[in-house]
Amino acid sequence: MFRKFTQEENVSSSTLLKSSAQKAVRKQILEQYPMIEPFMEDIIPKASAINIAKCHNQINFVVADEQPHFFTIHDGPYFPILRLLHKYPHMLPKMQVDRGAVKFVMSGAHIMCPGLTSAGGKLDMSVKKGDVVAITVEGKEHALGLGIAAMSSEDIAKLNSGIAIENIHYLDDGLWKLPSLH
Amino acid sequence: MVKKKGGSKKKKYESSDEEDNTTKDLEVETESDKNVDEAADKVKSLTVEDSKPKVEAEKQEIKETSSSDKKYPVSVNYCKVCTLPIEFCEFCDKWVKCQEYLAEAFPDKLKELQDLRENDKNKNKVINKKVAAEAEGREPSGKPKKKVEAELVITITKRTKHKAITTITGMDHFGVDASALAKTLKKKFSSGASLVSKPEPGIEIQGTFATETFEILQKDFNVPAENMFLVAEKKKTKFTDL
Query: Digits of tens for pLDDT over chain A (182 positions)?
Result: 788 888 888 888 889 999 999 999 999 999 999 988 888 888 888 888 899 999 888 899 999 888 899 999 998 899 999 988 998 888 899 999 988 888 888 888 999 998 888 888 888 889 999 989 999 998 888 899 999 999 998 988 888 888 999 999 998 888 888 877 76
Residue B181: domain span? 152-241
**Residue A79 shares a structural domain with residue A100:** no
Predicted local distance difference test score (pLDDT) of residue A67: 87
Predicted local distance difference test score (pLDDT) of residue B135: 57
Min distance A58 CA to chain B CA atoms (Å) = 25
Domain contains B71: no
Residue B6: name the closest of B34, B43, B30, B29 by CA: B34
Closest CB to A90 among B59, B76, B116:
B59
Domain contains B64: no
Does the structure show a pLDDT above 70 at B23?
no
Predicted local distance difference test score (pLDDT) of residue B122: 56
Domain contains A99: yes
Q: How many CB atoms sit inside 10 A of residue B90's CB?
A: 26
Residues of B in contact with A102 (CB under 8 A): 88, 91, 124
**Residue A11 shares a structural domain with residue A65:** yes
> 3-class SS at A98?
coil
State the average pLDDT over residues B111-138: 62
CA dihedral B138, B143, B145, B147 (to 10 degrees): 170
The total domain count for chain A is 2
Domain contains B43: no
**Residue A120 shares a structural domain with residue A162:** yes
More confident residue, A144 or B197: A144
Mutate to test the interface with B, among A124, A172, A175, A177 (most CBs of B within 10 A): A172
Mutate to test the interface with A, among B47, B62, B198 (most CBs of A within 10 A): B62
Tell me the C-alpha distance between A123 and B187, whole Å: 68
**Residue A70 shares a structural domain with residue A101:** no
Residue A17: CATH number of its domain? 3.10.400.20
Domain contains A177: no
Using an 8 Å Cβ cutoff, are B121 and B199 in contact? Answer: no
**Residue A79 shares a structural domain with residue A95:** no
Residue A144: domain span? 87-170
**Residue B159 shares a structural domain with residue B232:** yes
Q: For B42-77, how does the pLDDT look when each residue is reduced to its tens digit (9 = 90+)?
A: 544 444 444 444 444 444 444 444 444 457 778 888
**Residue A38 shares a structural domain with residue A104:** no
B58:A83 CB<8 A:
no
Domain contains A79: yes
Q: How confident is the model at residue B41 (pLDDT cuts 50, 70, 90)?
A: low
Residues of A in contact with B120 (CB under 8 A): 99
Residue of B nearest to A101 (CA): B122
**Residue A36 shares a structural domain with residue A76:** yes
Mutate to test the interface with B, among A42, A171, A180 (most CBs of B within 10 A): A171
**Residue A111 shares a structural domain with residue A81:** no
Contacts for B28 with CB less than 8 Å, ≥ 6 apart: B36, B39, B40, B43
**A119 touches B at CB < 8 Å:** no
Residue ending a domain, choose from A86, A109, A142:
A86
Domain contains B36: no
Residues of A in contact with B65 (CB under 8 A): 139, 141
Q: How many CB atoms sit inside 10 A of residue A34's CB?
A: 10
Residue ending a domain, choose from A64, A86, A108:
A86
The total domain count for chain B is 2
Domain contains A78: yes
B88:A35 CB<8 A:
no
Q: For A113-149, how does the pLDDT look when each residue is reduced to its tens digit (9 = 90+)?
A: 988 888 888 888 899 999 899 999 988 888 999 999 9
Predicted local distance difference test score (pLDDT) of residue B120: 66
Residues of A in contact with B73 (CB under 8 A): 39, 42, 87-88
Closest CB to B59 among A87, A89, A144:
A89
Residue of B nearest to A179 (CA): B83
Mean pLDDT taken over chain B:
68
Using an 8 Å Cβ cutoff, are A26 and A20 in contact? Answer: no
Domain contains A121: yes
Contacts for A113 with CB less than 8 Å, ≥ 6 apart: A156, A159, A160, A161, A162, A163, A164
pTM over the 0.80 mark: no
Residue B166: CATH number of its domain? 3.30.780.10
Residue ending a domain, choose from A86, A106, A137:
A86
**A144 touches B at CB < 8 Å:** yes
**Residue A81 shares a structural domain with residue A91:** no
**Residue B127 shares a structural domain with residue B170:** no
Min distance A40 CA to chain B CA atoms (Å) = 11
Domain contains B199: yes
**Residue B156 shares a structural domain with residue B237:** yes
Residue ending a domain, choose from B69, B102, B136:
B136
More confident residue, A6 or B143: A6
Concatenating the DSSP letter of every residue in B86-134 gives GGGGGGSTTHHHHHHHHHHH-HHHHHHHHHHHHT-SS--HHHHHHHHHH
Q: For the range B5-12, what are the long-range contacts, defined as Cβ-Cβ under 8 Å and sequence gap of 24 or more? A: B5/B35, B6/B31, B6/B34, B6/B35, B6/B38, B6/B39, B9/B35, B9/B39, B10/B38, B10/B42
B87:A141 CB<8 A:
yes
**Residue A69 shares a structural domain with residue A107:** no
State the average pLDDT over residues B65-94: 73
Across the strands, what pairs with A70? A62, A80
A90:B55 CB<8 A:
yes
Domain contains B146: no
Domain contains A46: yes
Mutate to test the interface with A, among B21, B65, B91 (most CBs of A within 10 A): B91
**Residue B175 shares a structural domain with residue B235:** yes
Domain contains A180: no
Question: Between the CA of residue A117 and those of A129, A158, A159, B166, B179, what are the distances in Å?
Answer: 17, 10, 10, 63, 57
Domain contains A149: yes
**Residue A81 shares a structural domain with residue A92:** no
